[in-house]
Amino acid sequence: MKSDRPLIELRGLHRVFGDTHAVRGVSFQVMPGEVFGYIGPNGAGKTTSMRILATLDEPTAGDAFVDGLSVTEDPDRVRRRLGFMPDYYGAYRDVNVREYLDFFARSYGLRGDERRRALSHAMGFTGLDKLATKPMDGLSKGMKQRLALGRTMIHDPAVMVLDEPAAGLDPRARIELREMISQLADLGKAVLISSHILTELAAICHKVGILEQGQLLAVGSVDEISRQAQPHSVITIRVLTDPASAHDWLAARADVERVERVEQRLTVRHAGDDVARADLLESLIGQGVRVAEFRSQETSLEDLFLHVTEGRVQ
Ligand SMILES: Nc1ncnc2c1ncn2[C@@H]1O[C@H](COP(=O)(O)OP(=O)(O)OP(=O)(O)O)[C@@H](O)[C@H]1O
């Protein structure tokens, strides 16, 4: 399903409100079948840039493109290709699930069989088919988010922009939401999803962009950003031979910044990438040390975020 052309592209996007530079020259691309995690604290500029992408606001400078179409020059055609799920939406009284989705299907100009198919697909995909006649103001938060997702996908857009969709959901509803988002990407859609809860996105995002005070500080896969941002790692080593001599050998190495020992277990702060770690292991074994365990701790998105944003923005 992958193609070479991005479905979402932000090019030097800038948005100023009075004295506030909410978005400052942000550029990135999202390809078909990709989930892009837009990560940043409150006020970073996520909603502002997403609203511009969804044609609800206009940039002060730069442009954004959906399936190659400019949001400033071609907003009507952009809207047909894009579904936007805002971080807040109201519930209507006396409107049931089917009626709500039907309203949006009609407003996208879907008619007859096409509309019925779109409704049944959205309700089937989100698991709302059994709740079709339930009033929407009586739905749980998780079910309301499913309904919002159903509404966002009702016209089968190639691009989906989801602003903090997991906020306020319980763990099960979060997992279910993540599964649905992964399925949307498997269908070839480009999904832009924002969150300030970083771990929430790690499992499903092909790429992440870290935004702070309107600036994109890093963009790439979690692994790529780790490599750029984190030349240090913490390695846990469990040895079967004399741990004290292994400790001393490690402590004497230039690439080892610190080493601590508890019984047979050594915790090493190591300066170096994957290759340097592989060299370290080889040399350790070469010293006659019997290694039962050698594990480099995974960098969490929280660590990455703190590292990337450290001192970069005032
Ligand atoms: N219409 C507006 N008028 C003035 N300032 C605005 C407007 N919209 C956003 N801002 C400001 O722009 C900055 C970015 O806000 P934005 O809502 O895009 O951040 P965010 O990353 O989505 O944060 P949150 O997670 O809190 O939604 C903030 O300083 C905000 O106060």
Q: Sorting pLDDT into bands at 50, 70 and 90, what band is 313? A: very low
Pocket of ligand 1 (CB under 6 A): 17, 20, 22, 40, 42-48, 196
Name the token pair of 250.
Answer: 């490690």
Q: Which domains does the chain have, with CATH numbers?
A: 8-221 (3.40.50.300), 231-298 (3.30.70.100)
CA 39–ligand 1 middle distance (angstroms): 14
pTM metric for this prediction:
0.79
| 3-class state of residue 108 by DSSP | coil
CB 201 within 8 A of CB 208: yes
Mean pLDDT of all residues in 29-49: 92
Question: Among positive and negative, which fits the CA dihedral 150, 153, 58, 31?
Answer: positive
pLDDT at 231: 62
Closest by CA to 7, choosing from 195, 187, 183, 225, is 187
Nearest residue (by CA) to ligand 1, atom 2, is: 17
For the segment 231-277, what is each residue's pLDDT rounded down to a tens digit? 677 899 999 999 999 999 999 999 998 899 999 999 998 888 888 99
224 vs 216: CA distance, rounded Å = 15
CA 141–ligand 1 middle distance (angstroms): 24
CA 239–ligand 1 middle distance (angstroms): 52
Nearest residue (by CA) to ligand 1, atom 30, is: 43
Atom of ligand 1 nearest to the CA of 48: 18
CA 194–ligand 1 middle distance (angstroms): 13
Main-chain dihedrals φ then ψ at residue 84, nearest 5 degrees = -115, 125
Mean pLDDT of all residues in 13-42: 94
Atom of ligand 1 nearest to the CA of 44: 21
